[in-house]
Amino acid sequence: MIPDDRVLVAYVPALSDFTKIETQNWYRIPQKSAPKGLYAEYIAFYFGRRFGDQKWAIHYYAENMGHELVRRIDLLPDEPTHPRAQEIYYQVQLGPLQRLERPIISLQWRRILFIHTTWDRFEDAGEINDLLLDGDSLVDRQFVALREQEGPQYKIAESQATYSW
């Protein structure tokens, strides 16, 4: 794992979805609502409200081993009458599931479907806001490095943001 590896945080709405992740090593994403950047090296899983004490947090991640397009009915043959049975989904193949030593929590409820981040942010995150990338990752990394240095204070202005410290 290197700092610039990409991590896609994906919402897991139900325990049955996580069971498939855990036992069959795949995750499904509807093609019509798939995020750009499905090519992340890792997929992390954000649990929804149905997860009790583990809700609104990321507890697990897995390596992204690739994906293919399949119909929902082929993924879930026990649900042939589902309204979206014939729709196309990405079936994301996963490596072994890894549990985080400490979960990445959301300090408040929020509706998350996908978050793009980097491995270094994911590894250091204590809460969901720590994952968010603002602007170009190179500029953002420079800002963090400069902010952490002791010495003179600086101000950097971009077209959409101003950073001061």
pTM: predicted TM-score of the whole model, two decimal places: 0.77
Q: Please report the pLDDT score of residue 165 as a whole number.
A: 53
Residue 149's H or E segment, with its range, is: none
Quote the domain boundaries for residue 58.
Answer: 6-133
Instruction: Classify residue 35 by its DSSP letter.
Output: P
Q: pLDDT tens digit string along 97-111?
A: 999 999 999 887 777
- How many domains is the chain partitioned into structurally? 2
Residue 82 sits in the same domain as residue 143: no
Mapped onto helix, strand or coil, the DSSP state of residue 49 is: helix
- Comparing CA positions, the residue from 82, 114, 104 lying closest to residue 11 is 114
Question: Can you list the residues of the chain whose pLDDT is less than 70?
Answer: 37, 133-165
| The residue count for the chain | 165
Q: Please report the pLDDT score of residue 39 as a whole number.
A: 83
In a domain, 35, yes or no: yes
